[in-house]
Amino acid sequence: MATALKIVPPEEKVTSFVSRKHKMLINGRWIEAASGKTFPVYNPATGEVMAQVAEGDREDINRAVSAARNAFENGPWPNLTSSERGRLIWKLADLLEKNLEEFAELESLDNGKPLAIARAADVPLAVDLFRYMAGWATKIEGNTIPISVPYTPGAKYLAYTLREPVGVVGQIIPWNFPLLMAAWKLGPALTTGCCVVLKPAEQTPLSALRLGELFQEAGFPDGVVNIVPGYGETAGAALAAHPDVDKVAFTGSTEVGKLILQAAAGNLKKVSLELGGKSPNLVFADSDLDTAVAGAASAIFFNHGQCCCAGSRLYVEKKIFDRVVDGVAEKASQIRVGPGFDPSTDMGPLVSKEQLDRVCGYLESGFAEGAKAVVGGSKMGDKGYFVKPTVLVNTKDSMKVVQEEIFGPVVTAIPFEDLSDVMPRANDSMYGLAAGIWTRDIQKAHRVAAQLRAGTVWINCYNIFDAALPFGGYKQSGWGREMGHEVLEQYTEVKAVCSAL
Give the catalytic positions in this structure: 274, 308
Integer CA distances (angstroms), 428 to 6, 279, 386, 397, 424, in order: 44, 10, 31, 8, 6
- Please write down the HEC assignment for all residues of 256-296: HHHHHHHHHCCCCCEEEEECCCCCEEEECCCCCHHHHHHHH
Coil, strand or helix at 309: coil
Q: Cα–Cα distance between 114 and 108 in angstroms, integer?
A: 6
Kindly report the CA angle at 454 between 449 and 456, in degrees rounded to 5?
A: 75
Phi and psi for 66 in degrees, rounded to 5? -60, -40
Coil, strand or helix at 368: helix
| Beta-carbon count within 10 A of 259 CB | 18
Q: Cα–Cα distance between 170 and 55 in angstroms, integer?
A: 17
Cβ partners under 8 Å of residue 143, min gap 6: 160, 161
Q: Cα–Cα distance between 278 and 429 in angstroms, integer?
A: 7
- Closest to 169 measured CA to CA, from 275, 230, 244: 244
Q: Cα–Cα distance between 335 and 300 in angstroms, integer?
A: 12
For helices 206-218 and 100-111, the axis angle rounded to 10 degrees is: 160
Tell the burial category of 495 from Cβ atoms under 10 Å away from its Cβ (0-12, 13-18, 19+).
exposed
Q: Cα–Cα distance between 225 and 214 in angstroms, integer?
A: 11
Cβ partners under 8 Å of residue 1, min gap 6: 333, 334, 335, 336, 337, 380, 388, 389
Rg of the chain over Cα atoms, rounded to whole angstroms, equals 24
| Beta-carbon count within 10 A of 244 CB | 14
Integer CA distances (angstroms), 430 to 314, 427, 454, in order: 17, 8, 11
Q: What's the half-sphere exposure (Cβ side, CA atoms, 13 Å) at 167?
A: 17
Tell the burial category of 319 from Cβ atoms under 10 Å away from its Cβ (0-12, 13-18, 19+).
exposed
Q: Cα–Cα distance between 262 and 472 in angstroms, integer?
A: 20
Cα dihedral 469/408/337/125 (nearest 10): 20
- Closest to 197 measured CA to CA, from 69, 110, 84, 91: 69
User: Which is it for the CA torsion 437, 441, 446, 452, positive or negative?
Assistant: negative
